[in-house]
């Protein structure tokens, strides 16, 4: 595509380089001529024309084959003009002089070409190595990262350096939606893709990719139509903006944007290849991210299903067990074949009552918990001194706590706590009932409170009972978790009481944790907020 | 004399449930041994050789499923699982391990008793009649009532003797090896005590003869014992 601007850009950079080359070539030839003059005039060397070869080789090394050939021709003419008799004309008098001149030309051209080819190969190898290194670094940045996100910053930096851009940024977003900037080597404030920029059009197979100028809103347009718009409309007048679309399976996932000075011109083949390969790699990395996200979403859904069915199993088991006892006991009471003593009859009726109570507790725990989890509990704040709260609860639970030493250590000067009276009552009831149930009869209990700072008050309920194995501590507040235990009564808990406790405490903005107590048993640490 | 009703072993950790079941089953003429843990249950199985086992799966010390396998290695005693786990998966797992029936909690007591009775009727094996009665010649053994008669007269046997006769009659006509008898009557731990079998067999033989039943079984030297089928009965084997 021959667009005016591209030509202009190309011309600009070519003419600049040509200028440098011409000046250097002239200097080199002048120096060589001086050397020839000295050799011939001062030192009496008969044929010093080979000195020009130095200039030709220097040009070849610096600027390549074409410069070398040009240099050879110029050297031929210069020598003829300056040193061949008759001097200061292009006329050549003798055959010997002709031979000399032709020799200079041929040797100059051959040396120049050889040196130039050598230089071109070296430069090509250098470029290739630079591309390979850049691509390798980009691959490594993307492959080593867990997701493409953080790696993109590295990729943008690498691209800026390796493709000689003033700025590179990567925008992520599917077709249609605006792109979100994921990485930017410049200040994030001022990036708006200019209405006119160059898009890399990649071709299938080995056809080299090319830069196509687009006008936003119109897609790629023919260069002749745009020729008049070129220049000022392409964003900053001194810079051009480039875009490489990141594709995966044919759909756009974002773009690599780059800016460089107008003087630098469009990227050359190797730089274009780096940009194109980086876009490919980013496309693959983004696609990988998308697959990982999808897999994770599926895994989360699967696990939550598994959890739900485990909970359902657990609930149905826990509901059925007391129900089975009730049915068996009631069935036996009704059965005319079973002969009961009055005491047995009472005991069986009492067991029906207890099992019904157990069922009731389970159901209300499940209801509480589902209310807590649904976020339907609204806390009614009140400022309450712990000092007054604890004795009330202890009095009400006197029967289930039985005969046991209970030590209460609550400093009188503690500020009141911010609680919901109903919630805290249930929390303390559940905790103390647990203690009564699992710590064993007669086991000492201690209730203590202290200020923790940061407007927090700590309340600890601990016992001297058998405690809980260390590996069970973190799971204690999980729904349906029961500490593995042997023997009678081990499975009587619902596994919900402490889950309800945690839910209520958190609803009040507090925290609860469990640890081994220095009394030997279990310690429950409550953290409550100080009333404002 | 009759040994009383069939001996059941109830392995169930939920105490109210256990009490209610024991009261009811006893009221219906069963004798019930109870155990609250798998370990106690297996001990009772070793000591008492019950006629049927009622097994809850959720035991505190180990899973009830593993007990099924352990019992099945010794004997074919019917196992009725009673469990709050009602999934098809759980039921299949228990039946595949060797349980004979599965009842999901909560259940009605009448259904439980009907299932116990059905299992006991079948416990006599293919040679038993429709009521579960094993009869060879003059000797008959009623598993459901745990009763042995010679002619019309009840025969008084110790639990081991009863168990021995049950195994032999259940496979009448075929040789029952000493090893099999040891496992079924005494348990796998007694595998090397073959003299137990010989001592109990000769006692049993004496008791049967005293009641008028001669040559009920013969020794197959070096192998085991075989109950002789009367000429009229076709050997099913």
Is some CB atom of chain B closer than 8 A to the CB atom of A313?
yes
Mean pLDDT of A254-272: 83
Q: CA-CA distance, A445 to A404, in Å (whole number)? A: 7
Contact A525, A515 (CB under 8 A): yes
Q: CA-CA distance, A527 to A424, in Å (whole number)? A: 12
Give B-chain residues touching A316 at CB under 8 angstroms: 84, 86
Q: Report the pLDDT value the prediction gives residue A113, as an integer from 0 to 100.
A: 84
The least confident of A16-30, A142-156, A473-487, B102-116 is A473-487
Nearest CA to A256 out of A265, A267, A436, B105 is that of A267
Whether B23 sits inside 8 A of A320 (CB atoms) is no
Whether B107 sits inside 8 A of A340 (CB atoms) is no
Where residue B109 falls among pLDDT bands split at 50, 70, 90? Answer: very high
Q: Report the pLDDT value the prediction gives residue B112, as an integer from 0 to 100.
A: 94
HSE-up of residue A482 (Cα within 13 Å, Cβ side): 15
Give A-chain residues touching B23 at CB under 8 angstroms: 332, 338, 340, 344, 348
Where residue A3 falls among pLDDT bands split at 50, 70, 90? Answer: very low
Is some CB atom of chain A closer than 8 A to the CB atom of B85?
yes
Nearest CA to A358 out of A323, A310, A331, A397 is that of A323
Give A-chain residues touching B13 at CB under 8 angstroms: 488, 490-491
SS3 category, B104: strand
C-alpha to C-alpha distances, B216 to A176, B75, B199, nearest whole angstrom: 95, 23, 16
Closest CA in chain B for residue A484: B60
β-pair partners for B154: B149
- The closest CB to that of B84, out of A320, A337, A486, belongs to A320
Q: How far is B96 from chain A (nearest CA, A)?
A: 21
Picking from B23, B39, B103, B113 by the largest number of A CB atoms within 10 A of its own CB, the best residue to mutate is: B23
Is some CB atom of chain B closer than 8 A to the CB atom of A316?
yes
Is some CB atom of chain B closer than 8 A to the CB atom of A317?
yes
Alpha helical stretches, state H, A145-215: 148-162
Does residue A107 register a pLDDT over 80? yes
The least confident of A30-34, A425-429, A437-441, A505-509 is A437-441
Whether B106 sits inside 8 A of A328 (CB atoms) is yes
Q: The tokens of A241 are what?
A: 């903006």
Q: The tokens of A501 are what?
A: 């406790």
Whether B17 sits inside 8 A of A328 (CB atoms) is yes
Torsions phi, psi for A258 (to 5 deg): -145, 150
The least confident of A185-189, A196-200, A297-301 is A185-189
- The closest CB to that of B16, out of A329, A335, A490, belongs to A329
Is some CB atom of chain A closer than 8 A to the CB atom of B212?
no
Mean pLDDT of A321-342: 89
Contact A164, A186 (CB under 8 A): no
Closest CA in chain A for residue B36: A488
Where residue A484 falls among pLDDT bands split at 50, 70, 90? Answer: low
Is some CB atom of chain B closer than 8 A to the CB atom of A343?
no
How many cross-chain Cβ pairs, A to B, lie less than 8 Å apart? 94
Where residue B41 falls among pLDDT bands split at 50, 70, 90? Answer: very high
Does residue B100 register a pLDDT over 90? yes
Contact A341, A472 (CB under 8 A): no
Give B-chain residues touching A325 at CB under 8 angstroms: 14, 16-17, 20
HSE-up of residue A45 (Cα within 13 Å, Cβ side): 13
CA B118 to chain centre: 13
How much is the pTM?
A: 0.52
Contact A60, A66 (CB under 8 A): no
SS3 category, A409: strand
Write the burial class of residue B177 (CB in 10 Å: 0-12 exposed, 13-18 middle, 19+ buried): middle
Give A-chain residues touching B16 at CB under 8 angstroms: 322, 325, 329, 351, 354-355
Is some CB atom of chain B closer than 8 A to the CB atom of A507?
no
Mean pLDDT of A21-33: 88
Tens of pLDDT, residue by residue over A69-79, are 888 888 888 88
User: In which residue are the tokens 């080299």 written?
Assistant: A208
Q: CA-CA distance, B187 to B73, in Å (whole number)? A: 9
Q: Report the pLDDT value the prediction gives residue A228, as an integer from 0 to 100.
A: 34
Is some CB atom of chain A closer than 8 A to the CB atom of B62?
no
Q: CA-CA distance, A516 to A506, in Å (whole number)? A: 22
Does residue A345 register a pLDDT over 70? yes
SS3 category, A230: coil
Q: CA-CA distance, B140 to B135, in Å (whole number)? A: 4
Return the percentage of chain B with pLDDT > 70, whole number. 95
Closest CA in chain B for residue A339: B27
Is some CB atom of chain A closer than 8 A to the CB atom of B17?
yes
Q: What region, left, alpha or beta, does residue A442 occupy, with left being phi > 0 and alpha being psi -120 to 50 degrees?
A: left
A458 CB contacts (<8 Å, ≥6 apart)?
A449, A450, A451, A452, A525, A526, A527, A528
Dihedral angle at the C-alpha atoms of A192, A197, A198, A201, nearest 10 degrees? 70
Mean pLDDT of A492-507: 81
Q: How far is A316 from chain B (nearest CA, A)?
A: 8
Q: Provide the ipTM.
A: 0.73
The one-character DSSP state at A229 is G
Closest CA in chain B for residue A352: B16
Does residue B132 register a pLDDT over 70? yes
Tens of pLDDT, residue by residue over A209-234, are 788 888 775 444 433 333 333 333 44
| Other beta carbons within 10 Å of B223 | 12
Is some CB atom of chain B closer than 8 A to the CB atom of A314?
no
Q: Report the pLDDT value the prediction gives residue A492, as an integer from 0 to 100.
A: 57
User: In which residue are the tokens 């989360």 written?
Assistant: A300
Q: What region, left, alpha or beta, does residue A265 occupy, with left being phi > 0 and alpha being psi -120 to 50 degrees?
A: left
Q: Report the pLDDT value the prediction gives residue A6, as an integer from 0 to 100.
A: 53
Is some CB atom of chain A closer than 8 A to the CB atom of B163?
no
Q: How far is A399 from chain B (nearest CA, A)?
A: 22
Contact B41, B67 (CB under 8 A): yes
**Residues comprising chain A, all counted:** 532
Q: Is the peptide bond before A193 cis (omega within 30 degrees of 0)?
A: no
β-pair partners for A183: A170
Q: What region, left, alpha or beta, does residue A250 occupy, with left being phi > 0 and alpha being psi -120 to 50 degrees?
A: left
Is some CB atom of chain A closer than 8 A to the CB atom of B24?
yes
């Amino acid at each position: 595509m021959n667009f005016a601007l591209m030509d202009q850009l190309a011309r600009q950079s070519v003419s600049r380089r040509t200028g440098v080359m011409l000046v250097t070539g002239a200097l080199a030839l002048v120096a060589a001529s001086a050397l020839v003059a000295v050799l011939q005039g001062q030192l009496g060397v008969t044929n010093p024309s080979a000195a020009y070869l130095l200039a030709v080789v220097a040009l070849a090394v610096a600027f390549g084959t074409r410069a070398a050939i040009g240099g050879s021709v110029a050297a031929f003419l210069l020598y003829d003009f300056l040193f061949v008799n008759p001097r200061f004309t292009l006329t050549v008098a003798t055959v010997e002089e002709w031979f000399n001149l032709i020799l200079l030309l041929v040797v100059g051209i051959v040396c120049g070409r050889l040196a130039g080819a050598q230089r071109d190969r070296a430069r090509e190898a250098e470029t290739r190595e630079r591309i390979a290194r850049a691509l390798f670094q980009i691959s490594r940045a993307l492959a080593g990262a867990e997701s493409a996100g953080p790696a993109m910053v590295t990729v943008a930096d690498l691209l800026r350096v390796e493709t000689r851009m003033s700025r590179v940024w990567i925008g992520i977003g599917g077709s249609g939606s605006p792109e979100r900037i994921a990485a930017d080597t410049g200040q994030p404030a001022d990036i708006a893709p200019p209405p006119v920029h160059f898009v890399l059009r990649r071709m299938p197979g080995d056809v080299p990719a090319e830069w196509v100028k687009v006008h936003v809103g119109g897609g790629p347009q023919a260069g002749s139509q745009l020729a008049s718009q070129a220049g000022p409309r392409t964003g900053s007048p001194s810079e051009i903006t480039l875009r490489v679309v990141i594709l995966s399976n044919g759909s756009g996932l974002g773009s690599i944007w780059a800016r460089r000075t107008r003087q630098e011109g469009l990227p050359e083949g190797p730089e274009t290849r780096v940009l194109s390969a980086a876009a490919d790699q980013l496309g693959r990395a983004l696609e990988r991210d998308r697959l990982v996200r999808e897999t994770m979403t599926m895994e989360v859904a699967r696990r939550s299903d598994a959890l739900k069915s485990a909970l359902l199993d657990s609930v149905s088991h826990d509901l059925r067990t007391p129900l089975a006892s009730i049915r068996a006991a009631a069935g036996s009471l009704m059965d005319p074949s079973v002969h009961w003593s009055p005491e047995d009859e009472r005991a069986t009726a009492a067991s029906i009552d207890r099992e019904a109570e157990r069922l009731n507790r389970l159901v209300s725990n499940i209801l509480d918990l589902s209310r807590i989890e649904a976020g339907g509990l609204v806390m009614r704040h009140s400022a309450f001194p712990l000092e007054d709260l604890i004795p009330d609860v202890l009095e009400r639970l006197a029967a289930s706590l039985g005969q046991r030493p209970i030590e209460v250590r609550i400093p009188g000067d503690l500020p009141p706590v911010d609680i919901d009276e109903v919630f805290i009552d249930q929390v303390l009831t559940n905790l103390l009932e647990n203690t009564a149930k699992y710590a064993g009869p007669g086991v000492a209990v201690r209730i203590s409170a202290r200020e923790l700072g940061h407007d927090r008050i700590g309340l600890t309920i601990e016992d001297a009972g058998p405690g809980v194995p260390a590996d069970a501590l973190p799971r204690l507040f999980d729904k349906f978790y029961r500490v593995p235990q042997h023997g009678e009564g081990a499975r009587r808990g619902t596994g919900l009481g402490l889950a309800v406790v945690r839910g209520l405490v958190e609803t009040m903005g507090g925290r609860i944790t469990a640890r081994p107590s220095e009394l030997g048993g279990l310690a429950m640490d409550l953290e409550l907020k100080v009333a404002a | 004399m009759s040994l009383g009703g069939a001996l059941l072993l109830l392995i169930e950790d939920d105490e109210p449930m256990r009490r209610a079941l024991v009261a009811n089953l006893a009221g219906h003429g069963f004798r019930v041994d109870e155990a609250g843990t798998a370990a106690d249950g297996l001990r009772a199985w070793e000591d008492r050789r019950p006629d049927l086992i009622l097994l809850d799966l959720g035991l505190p010390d180990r899973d009830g499923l593993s007990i099924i396998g352990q019992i099945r290695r010794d004997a074919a005693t019917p196992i009725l699982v009673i469990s709050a786990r009602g999934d098809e998966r759980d039921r299949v797992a228990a039946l595949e391990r060797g349980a004979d029936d599965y009842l999901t909690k909560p259940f009605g007591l009448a259904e439980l008793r009907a299932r116990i009775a059905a299992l006991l009727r079948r416990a006599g094996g293919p040679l038993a009649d429709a009521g579960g009665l094993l009869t060879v010649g003059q000797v008959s053994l009623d598993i459901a009532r745990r009763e042995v008669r010679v002619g019309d007269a009840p025969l008084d046997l110790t639990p081991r003797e009863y168990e021995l006769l049950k195994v032999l009659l259940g496979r009448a006509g075929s040789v029952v090896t000493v090893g099999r008898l040891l496992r079924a009557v005494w348990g796998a731990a007694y595998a090397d005590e073959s003299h137990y079998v010989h001592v109990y067999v000769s006692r049993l033989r004496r008791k049967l003869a005293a009641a008028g039943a001669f040559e009920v079984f013969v020794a197959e030297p070096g192998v085991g014992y075989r109950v002789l089928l009367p000429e009229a009965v076709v050997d099913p084997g």
